[in-house]
Structure 1
Amino acid sequence: MTTSHGAADPAPAAAYAQAAEAAGRAPSIHNTQPWHWEVHPDRLDLRADSSRALPGTDPDGRMLTVSCGAALHHAEIALRAAGHAVDVRTLPDPADPDLLATLTVTGDVPVTPEAMRLVQAAELRHTDRRPTVDIAVTPAQVEELRQVADAYGVHLHRLNPDQVTDLVVAVSHAEDAAAAEPAWQAETARWTGPDRPAGAGLPPEVIPDRRPETDVGERDFGTRGTLEVGGGHDKASTYVVLFGGDDDRAAWLRAGQALSAVWLHATVQGLAVLPYSQVVEIDGTRAMMRRILSQLGHAYVVLRLGVADPEHALPGRTPRLPFEQTTTVDDLGA
């Protein structure tokens, strides 16, 4: 048996399985976790899982693909934190559209402090729907996140006050559209109600017990949760949008990678993150976001960045599907 990280060495295959498990912590729309991993002796394949798609909310698979891109980034950092150099090929087979990416270990790399910080951040990362406190996000923090997104070919723009006002309107329009669409309501109820799939969806402890009193409204899940909102507002929050020049599956996958990278770096910075995907889920508000961006690109997701109230306990965590349900492992020759 060779001692290099080649196909004859079982270490990469074991690392692929560990990376697939770590990727399960990635964020996804309504916590649907719409991915499936295939662990092979010589590679790790990422596939879209249409059984956890949202055809009413996400008919084009836009947010499904963004979610899978976030899982892809989680797997990448897990492999690098294990000391593996990794080659990532996205959409490698046009004849197999569900195959979103293939990761291949190509050798060894030193384990850097940054790699370890990101893996630790992946364990801590969560969506925080509570209002933020009156502590501003610094320009240096935003610039660091901009550079993080740029590494994936995705732009990060900080919305100015006038653009935040326009965002308020866009979010309101998106919420009104969702409230008027039975398919949206049914899907939301399925993933937030008592009959949500085991290991997925949004439990009551991550849904606010009342609508927060913020300028930019949050998604209305149609149900009251048990997450205590408390006081506070979003006056000191910073709103950023991830965007790019393309609006196709390759772009959405990159957007998901950038989303994960930005979110994890923000977690390292001590910032709380709340995504606003509803403004890109319908044609009308996507067009509004393009106008906010002065037609410079297509919005992929909006993020609220802020500082959580240290007096409040951490919110609950969303559940995760078991490894066996999201991953298929080939015979690794053990």
Structure 2
Amino acid sequence: MLEAQKVSKSEIQAWRKQIENGDLNDVGEVYQQLAKRGYHYASWAYGVASADTITGNGALEFMQAVAKEHHHILTDDETNKIRRGMALGYLDMLEEKAGSGSVSQDISYKEMREFHIEVFENNHVDINYWTLYEPMNIIERYAKAKLPNGKVLTGEDIVELMWERMWKTCGTGISGPVASYELFNIMKDIKNGNIYIDKISGMPTSTTAITMYWNHENLGTDNIPPNPQHDGYTKIAIPGSDQALAASWIKNTKMLATFKDFLAEKGYEGSRNSWYKEYTAASYQHTGSYFNNQKNTDGARQQFRYNWSVAGGKAVTQGLWRRY
């Protein structure tokens, strides 16, 4: 469940005034206050508002990639207006849930999608600028499951369960990027024509994850590698039109494909920095040019420049790779 500590309507209203009268630092501070109360969406969103997490930077770079695809120059002012609008939209949703009293539950995927659509429309950009929209939209359309206990899961149920799993990672540490990498691999399967649903949990699972798990469990044996269709997973065919949408999404997040190499190089270490207030210039906040760690080798810097949507850009920050 998306349970969190109680937040009053008056607190939400005070945070809204702080954002309306402040700048992105105030957006970040409000998200941090909510994150401390257990509102994990705020941790995800903080990464976008502050460019302080791998997943947050990935979202900003995705927006730029989609803008380029639309022949749209997405300026710093436009990006920052969207960031601010998302924070206000989130507070509006929490206030609505609080009613005349308080709220102690974070937002669902459906609620998150609702205000993301509104904020993007208000800023005259397509909802497809949002990284999560296309994958979750396709999964909701085709995924379904009947669990061993007889419970039936619809596509809407499944995307909510997926969001809850992602929500718990806070978008930070190593678990946030790992969740993003799994979503990327699910979209690769969709691009190739199928989605695979775990018959026990009802969750979409990538063939990459299935194979990696099998390799771990069968290391040193002569067992035959798994066939997802016959080893506990339901195979659902995806039409060509949605395969094409998945291919387009992958193109704009293609650097996620190098995340496996990134994890191996970094020994599965963490993914947050603590120096986001020391940007060299505002114009570099979502380009990756300011991610410059003098301790990285030239080779690593070159690799991370192209890994940026998952690995954090040209390089990762000082002290970034600490274990969680």
Q: Please classify the TM superposition score into its range, dividing by the shorter chain length.
A: under 0.3
The structure where strand makes up a greater share of residues is 1
TM-score, structure 2 length as denominator? Answer: 0.25
The structure where helix makes up a greater share of residues is 2
